[in-house]
Every structure is written in C-alpha cells, then in structure tokens.
Amino acid sequence: MNKAVIVAPIIIILAAAGIYIAFLQKPGGSTPTTIPPTPTPSTTPTPTPPAKVVNVVKYKTASCVDAQGTGLEAFSMLIPSDWTFEGEVTWLLNNPLMPATAQFSVRNPDSTVEFKGFPNQSMFWTNNPLIQYTNPPGSRYFGAYVMEPLGPIEALKQIVVPMFRGDVANLKFISEEELPELAKLFGTGTDPTSGISYGAEAGKIRVEYTLNGVQVEDEIYCVIQSVKTPVGAATNNNWFISNLSSFRAAKGKLDVNSKTLQTIAFSAVINLKWLNKYNQLVLYLIKQQIQQIKSIGQLSNMLSQMSDEISQDNLKSWEDRQAANDKLVDDFTHGILGVDSYYDPIAEKTVELPSGYNNAWTNSLGEYILADDPSYNPNIGSNLNWQPMKTG
C-alpha cells in the first residue's frame, strides 16, 4: 500500500541570552552600585507542531490480453500501483469442451502477499467399458484427464495442492470448508430434452507452509462443475475444477491484508467481448462433433469469424461469472469486507475500493487514488487530470 507522507520541515532556532552587569563608583563612596540587567526577551524555542501524515493509496488497472487467440483483453482488475501483475490465456488445441484457460498472479514485491488465479482443470470419467479399456485412469480423453470424480475438498488436497504448491516446504492442512452458497451460483439441474445433467460443488482449504524462510498462510478455493451426458446405457461425466484461486500472506497477516486482497478480487472483470467469442467457439466445436483444432493459426482464423454480437445467453453467462466471483470474495476470510463502492465519472462505472478513506479520485488511465485527508489534492504537482469520485 502506498502511503505518501507530507512532512513539513522543522526549524529550531536557538539563541543565547546575555546579561550585562555594570559596576559604577558613587561620588564620595567606595560601595559599588549594581545596575540591574536590562531584561532580555525570552528566546526559548516555540514547540513546532508535529507534521500531519496523509495516508494515500493508489491503484492502477492491470489487463490480461489473450495474445495467443482473440487478441482481445480477456479480463482486467485493479491492483496497488506498486504491485506486480502477470497473466496469460492459454489455448488448449486438444480440449474442445474447455479450449482456453487463464492464470494470473498479483503480488506485493516487498512481501509474501499474493492473489493468484490458477488454470482450470478438465477431467473425464465414464462407466462405458470400452472407453475405460482404451482410456484408463491417468490417460487423456479429448484433452481431459481421466479420473474418477472428486468433491471440492478432495480435489484441492489431491490435485490442486500437489500441482501448484508441490514445491513448498513444511506444508500442512489447517482447515477446510464446503461452500454451498457459492455452488448455487452455477447452473445445476437436468435438461429434459437431452437428459444432460449439470452439477456444482464448492469449497476452500487453508494451508500453511514455508516460503523463502517465511511461514505463510494460503486460502485456496475451487468449484467442481460437472456435465453428465447419457450415451446409451452408459454415462460420460465431464467434470472441471474451476474458479481456482488463492489468497496468501505471512502467517497471522492474511486477515490483516483482506481489505487490499478483496479490492483486487472484487475488481476482476471478464471482458464480455472475449467471453462471447469463447462461448461461441465451444458451441461450434460441439456442433462439429467435437472437432479438434490442429494449429494456433487455424484457431485464430476461426475466432476471427465468430460474431461480435453478444447473445442473451452469453450476457447471462458473463453476469453469472461475475456474481460467482463476488460470492467467492464474500467467502474470503468469512465475509470480512473492507471495501466501499465509488462511481467513476470517466469510465462511467462503479468500482470497489478500500474503505476508511475520505476522498477518492480517478484519471483517464484507469488509476485511482484514495486519501484520508480531505485537503489532499492529487492534481497538485501532477500532469494528469484527477477527478473526484463519490461513494454510492
């Protein structure tokens, strides 16, 4: 967190006081007469009041561009101006049901505090004897890893932690919790026409481990989504470990950093235009009998032909994803929220920023400044046009 401190110079003037004593001889006498000293003005330094400290926090917009596929921004989020962002979208040419995944890391370079998004994992299971014979557990089936379905807690422990935290030292599991309210935000039920059923479960775990000599806490989330398709007498189950993310900080500091981490997570927005292209491609591949894409060049050409028009289904898909993200943030640290809503007059949208500040400003670069001093003005000494924002 940036804190600009305005410190007034303190000048202390020391003056030495002098006293004159004169001895005069009276006429006819020898007794000296003492002349009282001339009063000297007091030179005791006047205490200087302590300089006022202004707490200032600055956020900037970080963007993840899908350079490999659409060329569009896939998603964006607000991060503290002195934090780092790394993110990418990877297209999976052999996985028609989940042809792209994204991963990112938002990190405070001066500490272990980090908000991380992991790539979704595509899994497959079936009770079809022929497919079981040709695609045993551990193999790949249309790009998906063949494995019997797991619940969210088991998936986090058995798959996610070994895959993404397998290189840390002294790891131990601290707590676990099912998140049924988060799971409710994902589509469930059975389509009466096709017989396809959709399911969702969610959960989180908290682990501790040693990172570069520092003991850290890590709270990791996931949602298990399943699509069960009847195929004759058998059932194919495509299940996904999705919405994989974690909040990390030094042990005992995770809740303390929740305000900043929640601000980052709340601000994450999927680009609707990118999601529209992605959803169209998934439907196209399914209609083409799950045709696999052979090359990145073929993928880019196919995506360029997808319509820019956003259907109601794709709009609802985007809204559902945003609602799920907000619910995930609510569940972080058991819903201890530390953010306020502000209206951005330049972008004409509402943003969530840390609470506890008197004033907020924004500029055309997608940056935000918060300060606890009502007299602070970011336009002073800046060549940018900062405009004030109002809560609500």
The pTM score is: 0.73
Q: Rounded mean pLDDT of 339-359?
A: 85
262 exposure class (CB count in 10 Å sphere: 0-12, 13-18, 19+): buried
pLDDT band at 13 (very low <50, low <70, confident <90, very high): very low
Q: Are residues 347 and 259 in the same domain?
A: no
Shared domain for 68 and 154, answered yes or no, is yes
The string of pLDDT tens digits covering residues 120-133 is: 999 999 999 999 99
Q: What are 68's two structure tokens?
A: 């490999």
**Total Cβ atoms within 10 A of residue 199:** 18
Beta-sheet pairing, 144-146 with 121-126: parallel
Please identify, among 308, 335, 362, the residue that sits at the C-terminal boundary of a domain.
Answer: 335
Q: What are the counts of helices (DSSP H) followed by strands (DSSP E) for the chain? A: 8, 21
Tell me what the mean pLDDT of segment 345-358 comes to. 86
- 262 belongs to a structural domain: yes
State the pLDDT at residue 17: 32
Over 60: is that where the pLDDT of 36 sits?
no
Cα separation, 254 vs 358, in Å, equals 25
Q: Which domain holds residue 176?
A: 56-335
Mean pLDDT of the chain: 80
Last residue of a domain, one of 335, 356, 382: 335
Q: What is d(CA 122, CA 141) in angstroms, rounded to the nearest whole number?
A: 10
Q: Is residue 27 part of a domain?
A: no
Give CA torsion, residues 249, 253, 256, 261, to 10 deg: 0
Q: Is residue 294 part of a domain?
A: yes
pLDDT in tens, 203-228: 999 999 999 999 999 999 999 999 99
Q: Does residue 17 lie in a domain region?
A: no
Domain count, the chain: 2
Asked if residue 373 and residue 284 are part of one domain, the reply reads no
Domain match, 89 and 160 both: yes
In the chain, the amino acid numbered 365 is L
37 domain residue, yes or no: no
